[in-house]
């Protein structure tokens, strides 16, 4: 192996993608965070100077417009996959490029290039500029780096973790799943890590850089009993350092995945019709995300598409309901130090003691509503333009105990695991799929149930939240990705045990 300099190594996206894999063969210091985490990453590695940014921004504003921004990205994605007992697949991908946006009122021109050369960037800026047709504007003469808090500090880059350190963890998950039950016939394990470097430079003189880690470890098992098969799944992850993946994490993943699969052999047919629904703490907050979160993204309200567009300042829930969207939770999947248009990460109260207080804004909607941006301007990658998106959305805990909530439901269902949700923004109608839950009979949890869709109407459901417990839990899977307008971004969510008076349960058995 011929030694190479760090600069030329990282400049080569292809090599960067292989950093994790190659690290057994290269000295660790080559990737030491103390050097790599210095600001000016894009300047050092790709020669992106303030002068170049100024030229490109000037081109983006060459036909006028209110402002323009540049979003540089270098992301390295790695997947390790185990199937049939062996870690026998590895995939890597590099995303390297810059997205250039020109904004005029609520209009936007957007171009991107994968080549970080001045010529290519100017061409992309010329595309963005076509949205305006006025007199050219000059960008700021200097760009002030934003000082940001760090909600996901790393002592060591994910790309510096040797492949042979990751492989045994993946293998251990597989082996533990089989050790836990003789009913397990298959296990699929995936370890994913990604490391995103981004830099935003705006025509009004802001410059912000961030290093965003993301990772998760997933087990999917298939169990077989008396000719029937069921599957169970569990994942843990977020914006963690690699040191997060301890034996305890492996134990939780394997035990939960195996328990979930085996429990389903005793599942009874899910009921159909309207009934009380109790949401377990944590992942069931997909309900909040779908029923309330999307409807409160400001672009849908600015365009009068959302059922919430006339409700700011109005009572939408009981006084014990407070809902936040928060970028500042340590290591959570939806946390961001800065959003993708240069607004620092922050906490936004959406519903305070039952009153709708704020939408989630990007710069365009904030200008429209004459408020400050809330730091919700996000995008999937440099190929995509900014939209208001959620970060970590959750409901604050209430006064009741979980047992009191379940008892109050009397007869209904208890939702434990969900997958897939969707909302119709204008009507507020939403649905989410319950992969696992339990019947509530006479105020007690009884037989397991599975595979049913649950539906409701967002504003109605909010009003129907009649009891909230004191056990706020956040989804910790690290796998959550929210889709909107053809873009997927990582989001987090959480809630305490919550009783909704009535929702439509789409099981197969007529009313209990």
Partner 1 sequence: MNKEMKNLAEWSIKTAKAAGAEECRVNIDSERFVQISYHQKKPESIREASKKELSLQIFANKRYAGQRTSDLRKDALKTFITNAVVTTKLLAEDPFRTLPDPKYYKGRANINLEIFDKEYEKLTPEGRHEIVKTIENSVLQRGGKKIITVTATEYDNRYESVVMTSNGFFGYNEATIYFAGARVTAQGVGDRRPNGYNFVASVSQEGLPLPENIGQVAAERTLDLIGGKKIKTETLPIIIENRNVRRVLGGLIAGMSGQRIQQRQSFLIGKKNTKIASDKLTIIDDPLIQGGLGSRLYDRDGFAAKKRSIIDKGVLKDFYVDWYYSRKLGWEPTTGNPSNLVIPPGKRSVKEIMKDLGRGILVTGFIGGNSNSTTGDASIGIIGKLFEKGIPVQTVVEMNIADNHLKFWQRLSEVANDPWIYSSWRTPSLVFTDVVVSGV
| Of residues 323-382, those binding partner 1 (CB under 8 A) | none
| Integer Cα distance of 4 and 177 in angstroms | 41
Helix intervals (H) in 374-422: 402-409
Q: Write the binding mask 129 to 148 for partner 1: x where contact by CB under 8 A, - elsewhere.
A: -xx-----------------
- Which parts of 407-436 interact with partner 1 (CB under 8 A)? 419-433, 435
Candidates 272, 312, 355, 512; binder of partner 1 (CB under 8 A) is 272
Nearest approach in angstroms of CB 340 to partner 1 is: 15
Span near partner 1 by CB under 8 A; candidates 86-94, 202-210, 465-473, 492-500: 86-94
H/E element, 178: helix 163-180
- Which parts of 235-254 interact with partner 1 (CB under 8 A)? none
Joined tokens for residue 130: 């076509």
| Integer Cα distance of 376 and 380 in angstroms | 13
Q: Residue 449: is it exposed, middle or buried by C-beta count within 10 angstroms (0-12/13-18/19+)?
A: buried
Nearer to partner 1, 131 or 333 (CB): 131
Residue 224, strand partner residues: 229
127 near partner 1 (CB under 8 A): yes
Task: Give the list of residues 6+ apart from residue 310 with CB closer than 8 angstroms, or none.
Answer: none
Candidates 186, 255, 407, 463; binder of partner 1 (CB under 8 A) is 186
Nearest approach in angstroms of CB 479 to partner 1 is: 15
Nearer to partner 1, 204 or 383 (CB): 383
Q: Which residue bears the tokens 């993708």?
A: 340
117 near partner 1 (CB under 8 A): no
- Which parts of 470-509 interact with partner 1 (CB under 8 A)? 504-508
| Integer Cα distance of 399 and 345 in angstroms | 29
- Number of residues in contact with partner 1 under rule CB under 8 A: 99
Up-side HSE of residue 395: CA atoms within 13 Å toward CB? 36
89 near partner 1 (CB under 8 A): yes
452 near partner 1 (CB under 8 A): yes
Nearest approach in angstroms of CB 377 to partner 1 is: 14
Q: Is 358 left (phi over 0), alpha (psi -120 to 50) or beta?
A: beta
Candidates 87, 277, 321, 495; binder of partner 1 (CB under 8 A) is 87
| Integer Cα distance of 234 and 220 in angstroms | 7
Nearest approach in angstroms of CB 8 to partner 1 is: 9
Tell me how long the chain is.
512
Task: Give the list of residues 6+ apart from residue 223 with CB closer than 8 angstroms, or none.
Answer: 181, 183, 184, 185, 229, 230, 231, 232, 258, 261, 262, 265
Residue 428 CB neighbours (<10 A): 21
Nearer to partner 1, 84 or 119 (CB): 84
Span near partner 1 by CB under 8 A; candidates 17-25, 27-35, 397-405, 489-497: 17-25
Span near partner 1 by CB under 8 A; candidates 63-71, 141-149, 236-244, 454-462: 454-462
Nearer to partner 1, 73 or 326 (CB): 73
95 near partner 1 (CB under 8 A): yes
């Amino acid at each position: 192996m011929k030694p190479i300099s760090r600069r030329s190594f990282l400049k080569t996206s292809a090599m960067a993608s292989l950093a994790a894999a190659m690290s057994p063969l290269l000295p660790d210091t080559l990737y030491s965070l103390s050097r790599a985490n210095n600001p000016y990453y894009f300047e050092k590695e790709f020669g992106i100077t303030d002068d170049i940014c100024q030229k490109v921004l000037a081109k983006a504003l060459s036909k006028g417009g209110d402002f323009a921004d540049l979003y540089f990205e270098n992301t390295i994605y790695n997947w390790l996959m185990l199937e049939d007992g062996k870690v026998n697949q590895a995939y890597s991908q590099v995303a390297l490029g810059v997205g250039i946006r020109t904004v005029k009122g609520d209009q936007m021109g957007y171009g991107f290039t994968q080549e970080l050369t001045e010529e290519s960037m100017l061409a992309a800026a010329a595309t963005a500029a076509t949205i305006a047709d006025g007199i050219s504007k000059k960008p700021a003469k200097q760009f002030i780096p934003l000082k940001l808090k760090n909600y996901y500090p790393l002592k060591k880059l994910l790309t510096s973790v040797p492949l042979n350190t990751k492989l045994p963890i993946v293998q251990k998950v597989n082996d533990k799943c089989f050790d836990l039950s003789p009913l397990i016939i298959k296990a699929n394990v995936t370890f994913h890590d990604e490391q995103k470097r981004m830099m935003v430079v705006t025509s009004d003189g802001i410059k912000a850089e961030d290093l965003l880690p993301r990772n998760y470890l997933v087990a999917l098992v298939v169990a077989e009993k008396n000719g029937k098969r069921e599957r169970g799944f569990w994942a843990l992850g977020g914006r963690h350092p690699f040191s997060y993946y301890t034996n305890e994490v492996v134990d939780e993943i394997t035990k939960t995945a195996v328990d979930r699969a085996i429990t389903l052999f005793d599942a009874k047919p899910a009921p159909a019709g309207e009934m009380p629904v109790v949401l377990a703490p944590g992942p069931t907050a997909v309900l909040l995300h779908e029923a309330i979160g999307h409807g409160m993204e400001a672009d849908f309200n600015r365009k009068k598409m959302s059922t919430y567009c006339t409700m700011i300042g109005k009572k939408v829930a009981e006084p014990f309901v407070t809902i936040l969207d928060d970028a500042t939770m340590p290591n959570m999947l939806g946390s961001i130090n800065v959003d993708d248009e240069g607004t620092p990460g922050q906490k936004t109260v959406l519903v305070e003691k039952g009153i709708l207080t704020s939408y989630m804004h990007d710069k365009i909607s904030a200008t429209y509503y004459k408020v400050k941006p809330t730091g919700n301007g996000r995008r999937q990658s440099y190929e995509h333009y900014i939209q208001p998106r959620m970060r970590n959305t959750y409901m604050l805990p209430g006064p009741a105990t979980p047992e009191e909530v379940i008892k109050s439901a009397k007869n209904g269902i208890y939702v434990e695991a969900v997958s897939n949700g969707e909302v119709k923004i204008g009507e507020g109608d939403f649905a989410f799929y319950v992969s696992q839950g339990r019947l509530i009979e006479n105020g007690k949890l009884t037989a397991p149930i599975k595979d049913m869709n649950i539906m409701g109407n967002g504003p109605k459901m909010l009003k129907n939240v009649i009891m909230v417990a004191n056990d706020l839990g956040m989804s910790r899977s690290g796998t959550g990705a929210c889709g909107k307008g053809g873009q997927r971004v990582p989001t987090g969510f959480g809630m305490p045990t919550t009783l909704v008076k009535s929702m439509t349960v789409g099981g197969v058995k007529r009313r209990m």
